[in-house]
Amino acid sequence: MRLITYLQALILRGTLIPLALLPCEGLFSQCPQIIWQDEFDGTTLDLSKWSYQTGDGCDISPDLCGWGNNELQWYQSQNAEVSDGTLKITAKRENSNGRNYTSARLRTIDQGDWTYGRFEARIKLPTGRGLWPAFWMLPTDEVYGGWPQSGEIDIMELIGSEPATVHGTIHFGQPWPNNRQSGESYKLHTGQFADDFHEFAVEWEPGEIRWYVDGYLYSSKTKSNVAPDRWPFDQDFHFLLNVAVGGNWPGAPDGTTRFPQIMEVDYVRVYDANKPSVHGERRVPNRAEGVAYQLSNLPEGATINWSVPTGATIVSGQGSDRITVDWGETGGDITAVISSDCSEQQLQLNIFVEPAFVPVQTLENFDDEALIDFDFSTGSLTENVDNPEANSVNASALAGRYERNGSEQFDVLVYQSDAIENGDEFVDREKKFFIDVYTDAPAGTLVLLQLENSSRATVANYPTGRHSRFEARTTKQNEWERLEFSLLDQPDGSTTGSSVDQLIFLFASNTRTGNTYYFDNFEIYGQQVATSVFRPGNTAKTLRLFPNPAGDLLNIERMEAGDWQQLRITDLSGRVIREWDPEEDAQSRLQVPVATLKSGAYLLEALSVEGIIYSARFVIP
């Protein structure tokens, strides 16, 4: 017999609430009650809640061999064990029924099926190339047709070769190959999901699904994300827990993969109401000011006490559901302790403060030789025009002027360049794009920058060949301003960062406006590296490196006398590039030629008889 649904639970508790009035990420929420759970406290799997799926899918349908994903494992019940308060699903390298790996797959179909609610599990995940653990939901009755027409909700998936990243996704649309999906990812700042347990959850309401990791809201999908296809997420769904081995997405295991690997589940729970959550920027610029953090779904009458790490300051909002924070140069945990008649709960959010970013490469400034080559545009580009109105942001004599073609909905300005060595550095925010813009377009106008591989991308085959897209919005009109581009998305995950050779600007994309855009100082910024890294007990023995990033010559200044017997430059692997005796040069400042060094990061090390007493990192752009 099917367990109670979300609405049935409310009726049975005598609290029938129209679904349209249920809280949707509002400030206040009822006390959430568990309506279904498995805490895995026994010594055997509770078969009144779970059933096994075994085999490789071939017995269900020839089209489902490898479970529709070219997976390599044979599922069997003995790979799922309950002991010491957790469920353990173990993936093993062993032969069974013609397969080279075994694992387990469990589901709650016809024993735990729901429409709407909060669904969560606390899980410690395996790691290693070829591993694919998942906590997900499928429709029980497939009212709208076979996969993916009736939908799929992936609460958590992890690819073992990316052990710090989990994914939350919905699948929908027409039968393969016209199926569609929409999802987001959550990446840990430090460590892996194999290091400890984490809580993964979705809150599912009519027309909306939200994803959480440890109480942090990182993704939300609504009917607009599915349109024009049907929103199939209005019927009963059930849980699945499994660890796949291999498959189209993670690829096969290799020599680095260690077996056995275990997905350990502390509990699985279903709630009749939303729980408190926190959202806000997890990664902030160096010395960022006025960054907001918001709590949602607080119980009535809740009191809140916030705390922030050393170096950060709560500017406003202490005791309320929303605070603003000024950050210094280091991050740490923001903590909110929520006390109410429901319970006391602590939410903790780890914040990464970026290093300071400095210019490392100028792609185009209309004064020097450019590192990008104009290819074509649908509008009109004029290079080396007079600055329309110099100010403190841009006092250059020359700029570029682009007149947008108002008859083009997606007007493009295309450049070719081999200056982007690895587009992934911009996706990972190790580097950033900046540009000066002066325009008569209204404030709030979108500027897109798209990184592509020109041999794969054509006008008609979007998103093929599009490695990544970055966005910035103007805040001024007829005044120079410096814009920073932030990652929008990665349309084609199969296009590698090293293959990027084309950059496209789209001013006011998806409009038919005809404004004029002056632009200048299109630059790449990199993370500023410290000029000094001191060894304990030797902080008085100081050298200074400049400029950093270096030019053709690296200046090494001896701030005071020291007992260094040798200086050397190494790469980050420790390979010595050059070494010399500084005592042979009586000057307090040395100039070292570094023009022949390849782009990258290096270490300058000073040595005495005691070993390395000073080390500094510098960059060759």
152 is catalytic: yes
Beta-bridge partners for 350: 333
Tokens 């498995």 -> residue: 38
Beta carbons of 131 and 163 less than 8 angstroms apart? no
Task: Tokens for 50, please give them.
Answer: 């779970």
Looking at residue 218, its amino acid is: Y
**Phi and psi based region of residue 89 (left: phi greater than 0; alpha: psi -120 to 50; beta: remaining):** beta
Beta carbons of 9 and 273 less than 8 angstroms apart? no
Beta carbons of 280 and 349 less than 8 angstroms apart? yes
Beta-bridge partners for 74: 102
101 Cβ contact list (under 8 Å, min separation 6): 72, 73, 74, 91, 92, 93, 94, 245, 246, 253, 259
Burial 312-327 (b: 16+ CB within 10 A, else e): bebeebeeebebebeb
Of 81, 157, 264, 523, which one is the catalytic site residue? 157
Nearest to 413 by CA among 544, 509, 324, 338: 509
Beta carbons of 203 and 118 less than 8 angstroms apart? yes
Dist. CA 473–CA 478, nearest whole Å = 14
Rg (CA), the chain: 28
Beta carbons of 261 and 85 less than 8 angstroms apart? no
Task: Tokens for 390, please give them.
Answer: 């110099």
Dist. CA 513–CA 507, nearest whole Å = 9
Of 71, 152, 452, 481, which one is the catalytic site residue? 152
Catalytic positions are 152, 157
